Structure 1
Amino acid sequence: MTQPITSKVYKRRQYFIDKDFQSGFILKFLGVVAAGSGLTVILLYLFSLHSTTVAFVNARVTVMTTADFLVPILLQTMAVVTVLVSLGAAVVMVFVSHKIAGPLYRFKQTFRELGNGNFTNQVRLRKGDQLHEVASDFNQMITALRNQIHAIDAALTDVRSAMEAIGEYNVEDNKRKHFLELRQKVQELERAASFFKT
Structure 2
Amino acid sequence: MAVSAQDHKQRKMLNLAVKRDLQRWLLGRIFGVVLLSVLLAVLILFIYSWRELGSSFYEAHFTIRQVSDLLWLAMATGGAISLLGGALLALFLPQKIAGPLYRIERELERVRQGDLTVQIKLRRGDPLPEIAAGLNGTLAELRLRVQQLQEACRQVNAGGEQPAAEHLAQLCRELQQLKTK
Instruction: Tell me the TM-score normalized by structure 2.
Output: 0.69
Give the superposition deviation at 1:117.
1.0
For residues 71-95 of structure 1, give each alpha carbon's deviation from its aligned partner in whole angstroms, at most 9, with x where no partner exists: 5433322221111122223223322
- In structure 2, the partner of 1:173 is none
For residues 20-73 of structure 1, give each alpha carbon's deviation from its aligned partner in whole angstroms, at most 9, with x where no partner exists: 22132123212211211111222343456657499xxxxx9363695x666543
- In structure 1, the partner of 2:176 is none
* Matched positions, count: 161
Q: Partners in 2 of 1:23 and 1:13 — Cα distance?
A: 18
- In structure 2, the partner of 1:138 is 135
RMSD: 3.6
Give the superposition deviation at 1:13.
1.5
Q: Could you say if the C-alpha distance between residues 150 and 49 of structure 1 is closer, same or farther in structure 2, counting changes exceeding 3 Å?
A: same
Higher percent of residues as helix = 2
SS in 1 for 2:59: strand
Q: Partners in 1 of 2:43 and 2:62 — Cα distance?
A: 18
Q: Could you say if the C-alpha distance between residues 129 and 52 of structure 1 is closer, same or farther in structure 2, counting changes exceeding 3 Å?
A: farther
User: Does 1:147 pair with 2:144?
Assistant: yes
Amino acid at match of 1:18: K
User: Does 1:63 pair with 2:61?
Assistant: yes
Q: Which runs of 5+ in 1 are unaligned?
A: 1-6, 55-59, 168-178, 190-198
Q: Partners in 2 of 1:32 and 1:22 — Cα distance?
A: 15
Instruction: Tell me the TM-score normalized by structure 1.
Output: 0.64
Between 27-36 and 122-131, the greater mean CA deviation after superposition: 122-131
Q: Identity percentage over the alignment? A: 26
Q: Partners in 1 of 2:142 and 2:79 — Cα distance?
A: 51
